[in-house]
Structure 1
């Protein structure tokens, strides 16, 4: 009787499977989950002196498993170096310096400081490597390790302050910067950063004071959102603020706070041309004693130039003692308000007067329109606010209670004022021109020497 071909094929397949199973058992017998595990030495001295600071822990895993490596001291306290971490089959090697996940010993209180990683105390330890598969199979290897002469003090962060916690990085001179002040108890690498909406760190620069970077002592981080470097700050919002320290042996400590950014951005403004096509309109008006201004009293405001001849670009003659009047338009083309300070447009200076003589000092972050002539004793000595009160927006600072005035984003304002040409200088005629000044910050090239006009002062008869 002839055997069917399909039975022959099935029998052959069974034989092949049996042979494969037997071959695998011979070539790769059933191995332990952890065939081997050991430290390269039984003693380390983790003090960052370059000698015996670390040991190499090596082990082999034969199956997918979750692995833990712990060390138990003589007092029974257990420290975790690896805790329930997934691993695939293979050979592993890792450096161990005695630093494990953060912990606190009995009686220790670190307040709101987070101890992320810490050196275990000197002593003799029983180490245990355990592995557990998804099927529930477990295995363990163990041994001993001694810790001697460890550099155990933590790089603690004390006296941690953030001020102001709400700041406005827009170069208006009001709460433009936030300062992070921290005392470091041990030499360590110190970093401070915000965490943005994508979880990325935004690092801050340390300001060099008494303690140099990395030294124990007081450290100051000065943060302005990058505006001073020409960058836009992070978007308005509240950000986690982290200060982190790591010493030479790998111990890590951090503290957290928050920092809120409001009205942040790079301020941008310019002098724009008048409808008639010139950037600055110049005019001469007769002197009147009512224009005279002092620290205690601003005199009568000069009239706005209205003479059509004022747009002429030829030489402008001024009788000695009369008033040279200008008019221009300022535009805030940024996304943030720009702050300004007086005197108000229309105020008249004598040639020898400066803004302080009218009761207005220079203010860091304030924008003002300035006029300069070639023989002036200073750069843009005559200055005015970038708008009248009805063109500006008043904002009260909650910290100081002071009221400040701003030209809002996208808005324009008309600025004018006068200088009494009471002196005849050696250079006559001379050019006079306007500028838009961001005090203690810059006079940009586009806002420098705007609308120059040749001015000739006619000497008065004696």
Structure 2
């Protein structure tokens, strides 16, 4: 075949293809971008009674497109259900309960962020619109909304107290209280969120009101420390309260909470370098050592011993049972303590409250107990000398608090004057304990030592 004949054949084939394509387009035009658009029911009553609460929206796309679904009432108010959302080709079906994006009506003043809300009762024209770079299409119809419970779940009150929170079990701002008032029954959740989106949900306090009931709801948060968990890291957190009613209307309110000095307290009485955990000895009593709530007596110096054998320790009636031990803050959180400070001397019939050293929840103290003591750990001391503690002044409480810093070790010592001899319990055991006031006694029987009281001069025993 020569070249002119080949060229003629090629041109003929191309012409035939063009004619075929043109004919196909003329006889069978491209499929419509949007088809089968409909609202299954023309009337809904979205009030969560299970009757006509929903309708189904259906539509089909021949090609990928951006889709919007809006409703407009007779007054020209427009509500958006889907806003320019990208969809691939195919058939679509979605339930519609009258819930659209949040909005407010004229004259309304609703606190917080209205995220979703029912459209008001009335007659609507719905529009499903689809478009892409090459084509667009839309479909319309009507929908009536009746008997809708469109009252939103308003959170009329939302408070966070205190705004600065120190979850470390020192008894100072250890808990945060969040109060939420619901004007309508709704599912309610309250949580903290950090900058990375990590959420920490809070438990509601049981007050006789069921969760989600209309009215006040209180949430208490300790950072997890009371359950032995590390609290969230120090920093500023956003606190959210989210209420969603049975119809799907949702309102969110938010505030801020700052966590400072958070941490799980970790402290213990540690063993001496040699010998038992607690060093015991006896010393004579001096009337100058007598301490009351109004006057602090003379302090005894710290014993020099670093060990004691475990034989029975004999104390002359009226003399002092002296102890010494070591406390270690092995955690990352400062440990708060209260007096009396090491070196203080108790009479047997005294206790910490007798000398004005009352319990302060969250504070830590060392205690001494004996079999004949009139109460549990009646004699208590701070976990370090005052000059080894960090003083922190609290302007709000107008008070100074004392802390043993992380990693610090401190010697604690003191004495009890043993004036009571009980023949039925002689000898008796005496021991030390580490007390977290109004929380727990962590070490309950440390360095137990048998102590025998010997009658003093002129004693009737």
User: Does the Cα contact within 8 Å between 2:366 and 2:432 map onto a contact in 1?
Assistant: yes
- Residue of structure 2 in register with 1:312 after alignment: 309
Task: For residue 13 of structure 1, report the CA deviation from its aligned partner.
Answer: 9.2
Mapped partners of 1:11, 1:313: distance in 2: 116
1:178–1:3 Cα change, 3 Å: same
Match of 1:242 among 228, 232, 240: 240
Task: For residue 8 of structure 1, report the CA deviation from its aligned partner.
Answer: 11
- Residue of structure 1 in register with 2:421 after alignment: 424
Equivalences for 1:39-58 in 2 at 5 Å?
A: 39-58=39-58
- Residue of structure 1 in register with 2:132 after alignment: 133
Provide TM-score, normalisation by structure 2.
0.93
User: Does the Cα contact within 8 Å between 1:282 and 1:305 map onto a contact in 2?
Assistant: no
Task: For residue 160 of structure 1, report the CA deviation from its aligned partner.
Answer: 1.5
1:321 aligns with 2:322: no
Mapped partners of 1:323, 1:117: distance in 2: 74
1:206–1:5 Cα change, 3 Å: farther
Match of 2:184 among 177, 183, 186: 186
1:406–1:21 Cα change, 3 Å: farther
Mapped partners of 2:448, 2:398: distance in 1: 40
- For structure 1, the 5+ residue unaligned runs are none
Mapped partners of 1:179, 1:27: distance in 2: 73
For each residue in 1:201-255, what CA deviation from the matched residue of structure 2 results, as whole angstroms up to 9, or x when unmatched? 2111111225321100011111111111111111100011111100000000011
Mapped partners of 1:360, 1:251: distance in 2: 55
Match of 2:159 among 141, 158, 161: 161
User: Does the Cα contact within 8 Å between 2:324 and 2:414 map onto a contact in 1?
Assistant: yes
For each residue in 1:405-444, what CA deviation from the matched residue of structure 2 results, as whole angstroms up to 9, or x when unmatched? 0001111111101111111122221211111111111222
For each residue in 1:28-51, what CA deviation from the matched residue of structure 2 results, as whole angstroms up to 9, or x when unmatched? 951111111111111111111111
- Residue of structure 2 in register with 1:73 after alignment: 73
Equivalences for 1:139-218 in 2 at 5 Å?
A: 139-218=137-216
Provide TM-score, normalisation by structure 1.
0.93
- Residue of structure 2 in register with 1:383 after alignment: 380
Aligned-partner SS, 1:228: helix
Task: For residue 402 of structure 1, report the CA deviation from its aligned partner.
Answer: 1.0
1:365–1:24 Cα change, 3 Å: farther
Aligned-partner SS, 2:261: coil
Q: How many residues align?
A: 457
Q: Which runs of 4+ in 1 moved over 4 A?
A: 2-29
Task: For residue 290 of structure 1, report the CA deviation from its aligned partner.
Answer: 1.2
Task: For residue 341 of structure 1, report the CA deviation from its aligned partner.
Answer: 0.6
- Residue of structure 1 in register with 2:410 after alignment: 413
Mapped partners of 1:375, 1:5: distance in 2: 127
Mapped partners of 2:9, 2:316: distance in 1: 122
For each residue in 1:331-383, what CA deviation from the matched residue of structure 2 results, as whole angstroms up to 9, or x when unmatched? 11111111001111111111121100010111110000011112323222211
Mapped partners of 1:51, 1:415: distance in 2: 73
Mapped partners of 1:105, 1:155: distance in 2: 15
- For structure 2, the 5+ residue unaligned runs are none
1:454 aligns with 2:453: no
1:144–1:276 Cα change, 3 Å: same
RMSD (Å) for aligned C-alpha atoms: 2.4
1:7–1:230 Cα change, 3 Å: farther
Mapped partners of 1:21, 1:261: distance in 2: 71
Aligned-partner SS, 1:349: strand
